[in-house]
Amino acid sequence: MNRDKAIQDLEAFEGYWDMIVIGGGATGLGVGVDAASRGYKALVLEQHDFAKGTSSRSTKLVHGGVRYLRQGNISLVLEALHERGLLIRNAPHLVSNQAFIVPNYEWWDGPFYGAGMKVYDMLAGKLGLSPSRHLSKKETLEQIPTLEPQKLRGGVVYYDGQFDDARLAVNLAQTMVDQGGTPVNYMKVNRFSRAGEMIDGVFATDMETGKSHEIHARVVVNATGVFTDEILQMENPEAKPIIAASQGVHLVLDKEFLPGESAIMVPQTADGRVLFVVPWHDKAVVGTTDTPMSDISLEPCPLKEEIDFILEHAAIYLSKDPEPKDVKSVFAGLRPLVNTGSGDNTAAISRDHYLVVSESGLVTITGGKWTTYRKMAEDTVNQAMLVAGLDERECVTRKLRIHGWLKHFDKTDPLHYYGSDAIHLKKMIRTDPGLGEKLHQNLSYIRAEVIWAVQKEMARTVEDFLARRSRALVLDARAAMDMAPEVASLMARASGYDQTWQKQQVSAFADLAGRYLVGGYGNLACRNGDPALTGPPA
């Protein structure tokens, strides 16, 4: 996957693309993969980097949604559990079976959640993972020794999926290329072109070179997540907003707060959310919040009250109370919830996806969640196919293996999440042993990964590598800042950039990484607005 080649393909193509997709997150890339795998000429345009927004800021779970079961949204749970099974089958190198324990501190918790999880198991059917069961207090503490033991009666263990969201997004972009499609990052859509009253393409600007492109298509899909309203109002200035953005914040702690392999699920917090403490990349991810937000940004800012809320609730269930100094990184994402007029409580708004076609033929898909991205894409392409009058072709993504697919691998191998691509990185290291050196003593990432990200994964900036090709920024923000100069040097070497570019990149990344620190500079960075992120030179 190479951006220069993608731009060449874009500029060389004459005529109409079958489908242009605006947005390179989970939904947009899913639509691109679905369309390309059906044989349509498909183009995905992303204003920043793939999964820059919400799609890299999830709780890292592929799940049916225990909370939705309690709310009675059985159809959503059924759909999500089915999609969970398909995703584990189609991307086993990135999606795995994760044990979750619901600790019981009241006499009624055990029977209630024990019965609920049995329903959860039943709904999963043949795509289920392992069956849930009750645990004694001793068994519960053996699984999670850092649980608060006072008044603990036992627990219920159930199984869901866990994944690396940004890595999956990168693999989806690669899958789209494998299927003959063209994804392009740093390509911002500014306005639509029209044939009479109908949309027949877009005008887009290459954010690296400033060059404008007029691109025609038989149908355009709006898959921009929390920016959905911006695109709808670009199509029709009178369009009413439909997005009720909700912010979810997560804290990352050292593994000492959650040793072992099991996660904690607290089914009811003060704001109606589910609280998770999940082992991930040798750290513990704690979240999340559900805060209505009117400010839509590519870099949403965690609020102090959200951080305090998570720390206070984590302290209730962990024997060692986490403090601000223990937080390695804090990250926030905005959920693109569809406003159904149900009020201000975003925790109560449905997570179902929303598909609509405007009078001009613009197809908009929004809402939903990572787990159901494939079904959202299938529904969208089915609709877009009708709008465009394309030849009807069946969806094939239920059994489509995602780029990197590998069933048998060693999970202790730091490169295992590359799947079948790992052998290529290891070959690079055999050719140049220096590429096997770690970038930071506290994280597993090595120098070869930087070169691979530039050459094969469309990484264009230091942020692209440290935030999404690797997960250094969300795992340990200070370590990521320490890594930035060497990453910039390696990227410059691979791409032919100069010292000025390297200095701009390191400075821009330091500004960004400050947002991921709790207190002090992090708060100042948030108050001062978005940092200017400098891309490759024109």
395 shares its domain with 372:
yes
For β-strands 212-217 and 95-104, DSSP reports them as unpaired
252 shares its domain with 379:
no
Per-residue model confidence (pLDDT) at position 274: 80
Please indicate, yes or no, if residue 175 is contained in any of the structural domains: yes
> How many C-beta atoms surround the C-beta of residue 72 within 10 A?
9
Flag whether pLDDT at 325 surpasses 90.
Answer: yes
pLDDT in tens, 248-257: 999 999 999 9
Q: Which two tokens stand for residue 112?
A: 């209630």
Please indicate, yes or no, if residue 344 is contained in any of the structural domains: no
208 shares its domain with 77:
no
Flag whether pLDDT at 479 surpasses 50.
Answer: yes
**Strand (E) or helix (H) holding 116:** helix 109-124
Q: Which two tokens stand for residue 129?
A: 């993972």
251 shares its domain with 208:
no
Enumerate residues 6+ apart whose C-beta is below 8 A from 146: 256, 257, 258, 259, 318, 319, 320
Flag whether pLDDT at 344 surpasses 70.
Answer: no
> How many C-beta atoms surround the C-beta of residue 453 within 10 A?
23
Going by C-alpha positions, the residue among 220, 235, 222 that lies closest to residue 42 is 220
pLDDT in tens, 122-177: 666 666 667 778 899 999 999 999 999 999 999 989 888 999 999 999 999 999 99
Please indicate, yes or no, if residue 343 is contained in any of the structural domains: no
Per-residue model confidence (pLDDT) at position 123: 66
Distance from C-alpha of 496 to C-alpha of 393, rounded to nearest angstrom: 43
358 shares its domain with 478:
no
222 shares its domain with 283:
no
For β-strands 275-280 and 263-266, DSSP reports them as antiparallel
Host domain of residue 501 = 416-527
Q: 190 phi and psi, to 5 degrees?
A: -105, -35
Per-residue model confidence (pLDDT) at position 120: 62
Distances (CA, A) of 385 to 88, 161, 179, 183: 28, 32, 18, 19
Distance from C-alpha of 444 to C-alpha of 459, rounded to nearest angstrom: 19
Distance from C-alpha of 74 to C-alpha of 180, rounded to nearest angstrom: 37
* Preceding peptide of 288 cis, ω within 30°: yes
Going by C-alpha positions, the residue among 274, 275, 281, 287 that lies closest to residue 254 is 281
Per-residue model confidence (pLDDT) at position 366: 96
Flag whether pLDDT at 349 surpasses 50.
Answer: no
69 shares its domain with 46:
no
Please state the domain count of the chain: 3
Enumerate residues 6+ apart whose C-beta is below 8 A from 423: none
Distance from C-alpha of 10 to C-alpha of 22, rounded to nearest angstrom: 15
Please indicate, yes or no, if residue 534 is contained in any of the structural domains: no
Q: Which two tokens stand for residue 437?
A: 């050196």
Per-residue pLDDT averaged across 214-229, rounded? Answer: 97
Going by C-alpha positions, the residue among 292, 459, 381, 359 that lies closest to residue 27 is 381
180 shares its domain with 329:
no
**Strand (E) or helix (H) holding 227:** none
CATH of the domain at 441: 1.10.8
pLDDT in tens, 435-467: 999 999 999 999 999 999 999 999 999 999 999
- CA 25 to mean position of chain CA atoms: 7
Distance from C-alpha of 37 to C-alpha of 398, rounded to nearest angstrom: 11
Query: Residues 184, 188, 193, CA angle at the centre, nearest 5°?
Result: 105
Distances (CA, A) of 119 to 104, 109, 461: 18, 15, 46
Enumerate residues 6+ apart whose C-beta is below 8 A from 372: 79, 80, 83, 353
205 shares its domain with 272:
no
- 3-class secondary-structure state, position 81: helix
Residues in the chain: 538
279 shares its domain with 388:
no
Mean pLDDT is lowest, of 4-8, 215-219, 444-448, 520-524, for: 520-524
136 shares its domain with 279:
yes
Distance from C-alpha of 429 to C-alpha of 477, rounded to nearest angstrom: 26
Distance from C-alpha of 279 to C-alpha of 378, rounded to nearest angstrom: 31
pTM summary value: 0.92
End-to-end CA separation in angstroms for the chain:
20
CATH of the domain at 262: 3.30.9.10
Residues facing 45 on adjacent strands: 22, 184
User: Across the chain, what does the average pLDDT equal?
Assistant: 90
Q: Which two tokens stand for residue 70?
A: 């309690």
Mean pLDDT is lowest, of 143-152, 351-360, 382-391, for: 351-360
Of 338, 370, 385, the position where a domain reaches its end is: 338
Task: Name residue 287's amino acid.
Answer: G
The pLDDT-based confidence of 351 (bands split at 50, 70, 90) is low
Q: Any idea of the CA torsion for 404, 58, 469, 184, to the nearest 10 degrees?
A: 80
Please indicate, yes or no, if residue 32 is contained in any of the structural domains: yes
Per-residue pLDDT averaged across 471-478, rounded? Answer: 98
Please indicate, yes or no, if residue 37 is contained in any of the structural domains: yes
Residues facing 97 on adjacent strands: 161
Q: What is the largest CA-CA distance in the chain?
A: 71
CATH of the domain at 12: 3.50.50.60
Going by C-alpha positions, the residue among 370, 331, 343 that lies closest to residue 225 is 370
For β-strands 220-222 and 363-367, DSSP reports them as parallel
- 3-class secondary-structure state, position 218: coil
Please indicate, yes or no, if residue 433 is contained in any of the structural domains: yes
pLDDT in tens, 484-522: 999 999 999 999 999 999 999 999 999 999 999 997 444
Distance from C-alpha of 179 to C-alpha of 45, rounded to nearest angstrom: 17
pLDDT in tens, 28-63: 999 999 999 999 999 999 999 999 999 999 999 998
Query: Residues 108, 109, 111, CA angle at the centre, nearest 5°?
Result: 70
Please indicate, yes or no, if residue 448 is contained in any of the structural domains: yes
With tokens 């590998």, the residue in question is 406
pLDDT in tens, 72-89: 666 777 788 889 999 999
**Among positive and negative, which fits the CA dihedral 445, 98, 149, 315?**
positive
Mean pLDDT is lowest, of 118-127, 319-328, 382-391, for: 118-127
504 shares its domain with 421:
yes
Task: Name residue 276's amino acid.
Answer: F
Per-residue model confidence (pLDDT) at position 348: 44
Report helix angle 477-495 to 499-513, nearest 10.
Answer: 160
pLDDT in tens, 232-247: 999 999 999 999 999 9
Per-residue model confidence (pLDDT) at position 67: 62
- 3-class secondary-structure state, position 33: helix
**Is there a contact between 41 and 27 (Cβ–Cβ < 8 Å)?**
no
